[in-house]
Amino acid sequence: MNLNKFDYNLPKELIAQKPITPRDRSKFLIYNKTEDKIKHDFFFNLPKYVDTNDVLVFNNSKVFPARLKVLKPTGGKIEIFLLKDLGRGKWECLVGGRLGKTRELDKDILKMNILEKLDNENWIIKFNLTEKKFKVFLDQYGETPLPPYIKTKDSKNIRKKYQTIYAEHQGSVAAPTAGLHFTNKVFKELNKKHVQIEFVTLHVGLGTFAPVKTKKIEDHKIHKEFGILDKQTCDRLNKAKEQGKRIIAVGTTSIRVLESAATSKGLRPFNDWIDLFIYPGYSFRFVDAIITNFHLPKSSLLMLISAIIGVDKVMEIYKKAIKKRYRFYSFGDVMFIE
């Protein structure tokens, strides 16, 4: 399938630079696939569209300040982007700027040894601090790696906004943005309606920022991201599916965990790297519906949504959303595909 089919024009003013306050005031587009109908609402009314027969599955990964700016011994500046925790102080990193022959770097109490350059042009770097001290260091000196289309500089304020209220397990370099719309008030209303709530984990990696560049989308290789589905959650979800409940993934990351864990007999516990690339032609094995933001042109996320309702329908809906002045991307508005 040609990459250009997933392109569209978006006015720059519709790229959201900050979230709506409160979060649940986002515009909410509901598309019913069976009836081929669109409704427009606000996200705080989500409980109107779900009931006790529904299960909402969230990604509880937590964004951490993964970007470090440091000086080389020669005085030159470089940027280190933490990608994968390899254990024992070792990280796979993206390095912005030339390392040259530099093999050691200092930043205050942090010392870094450059160990190896990988085939994908990333580097393995070993840090001297313990895991606990390293987290404290990153909180003080690191920057949240906001997407390039958000021009707001990193701050404590924007860092808090770029985090779901239920984030628990640190490991993402980008937020699972569909979850940014949820507030305690919305959760309270969902609980009143006895909607089942479950959590999985997918640590969002560099692949979120990487555009698809191959002319044929089938040739694209998606970055690996680490996913977790524990046995207790797995058992509850399998039981819900057997009872005929509707499985609603909150965000594309939740879908990728569930579909990676799916077998012909249901879900299996999962604790592994995920490189599942979902695009039109894919047959979903477990997920029935999705709550998701509006995604970038030519992105793997847009292709995943197109696998659910078809690329032509996605483009039709996006055109209507643009006409209605919906806000797009990470801090933008949200849609529900039933």
Would you say residue 302 lies in a domain?
yes
Q: Looking at per-residue confidence, does 209 or 268 come out higher? A: 268
Average pLDDT over every residue of 213-240: 95
Would you say residue 198 lies in a domain?
yes
Q: Return all residues near 119 (Cβ < 8 A) that are at least 6 apart.
A: none
> DSSP secondary structure string, 11-47?
-GGGB-SS--SSGGGSEEEEEETTTTEEEEEEGGGGG
Would you say residue 30 lies in a domain?
yes
Average pLDDT over every residue of 62-72: 86
Residue 122 belongs to what domain range? 67-142
Beta strands in the chain (DSSP E): 27-32, 37-42, 54-59, 61-63, 67-71, 77-87, 90-96, 104-107, 110-117, 123-127, 169-172, 196-203, 225-229, 246-250, 262-263, 266-267, 270-274, 289-293, 334-337
Are 130 and 261 part of one and the same domain? no
Q: What pLDDT was estimated at residue 33? A: 95
Average pLDDT over every residue of 276-303: 97
Does residue 155 surpass a pLDDT of 70? no
> DSSP secondary structure string, 139-197?
HHH-B----TT--SPP-HHHHHHTS-TT--EEEESS--GGGGG--HHHHHHHHHTT-EE
Would you say residue 152 lies in a domain?
no
Q: What pLDDT was estimated at residue 120? A: 72
Does residue 129 surpass a pLDDT of 90? no
Domain total of the chain: 2
- Based on its alpha-carbon atoms, the radius of gyration of the chain, rounded to whole angstroms, reads 20
Tens of pLDDT, residues 82-116: 988 888 999 998 888 877 766 767 666 788 888 88
Q: With contact defined as beta carbons under 8 Å apart, do 107 and 127 qualify? A: no
Would you say residue 71 lies in a domain?
yes
Q: What pLDDT was estimated at residue 139? A: 86
Are 307 and 324 part of one and the same domain? yes
Q: For residue 41, give the nearest of 54, 33, 32 by alpha carbon.
A: 32
Are 99 and 136 part of one and the same domain? yes
Are 164 and 35 part of one and the same domain? yes
Q: With contact defined as beta carbons under 8 Å apart, do 47 and 125 qualify? A: no
Integer CA distances (angstroms), 271 to 61, 225, 235, 258, 287, in order: 14, 11, 15, 12, 19
Least confident of 53-67, 68-82, 131-145, 155-169: 68-82
Does residue 198 surpass a pLDDT of 70? yes
Does residue 143 surpass a pLDDT of 90? no
Are 304 and 203 part of one and the same domain? yes
Q: What pLDDT was estimated at residue 209? A: 64
Share of the chain above pLDDT 70, in %: 96
A 10 A CB-CB count for 127 gives 24
CATH code: domain of residue 222:
3.40.1780.10
A 10 A CB-CB count for 87 gives 8
Q: Where a domain ends, among 91, 115, 142?
A: 142
CA pair distance 277, 1, nearest whole angstrom = 14
Are 105 and 250 part of one and the same domain? no
By the 10 Å C-beta count (0-12 exposed, 13-18 middle, 19+ buried), 162 is classed as: buried
Would you say residue 90 lies in a domain?
yes
Q: Where a domain ends, among 78, 110, 142?
A: 142
CA pair distance 108, 117, nearest whole angstrom = 24
Are 172 and 302 part of one and the same domain? yes
Average pLDDT over every residue of 162-172: 94
Would you say residue 154 lies in a domain?
no
Does residue 154 surpass a pLDDT of 70? no
Are 36 and 168 part of one and the same domain? yes
Are 300 and 180 part of one and the same domain? yes
Are 222 and 326 part of one and the same domain? yes
Would you say residue 148 lies in a domain?
no
Helix/strand/coil for 310: coil
What count of Cα atoms within 13 Å lies in the side-chain half-sphere of residue 336? 24
Integer CA distances (angstroms), 104 to 99, 101, 153, in order: 10, 9, 28
Q: Where a domain ends, among 142, 171, 187?
A: 142
CA pair distance 333, 328, nearest whole angstrom = 6
CATH code: domain of residue 95:
2.40.10.240
Q: What pLDDT was estimated at residue 87? A: 87
Are 86 and 73 part of one and the same domain? yes
Are 181 and 260 part of one and the same domain? yes
Cis link prior to 22 (omega < 30° from 0)? yes
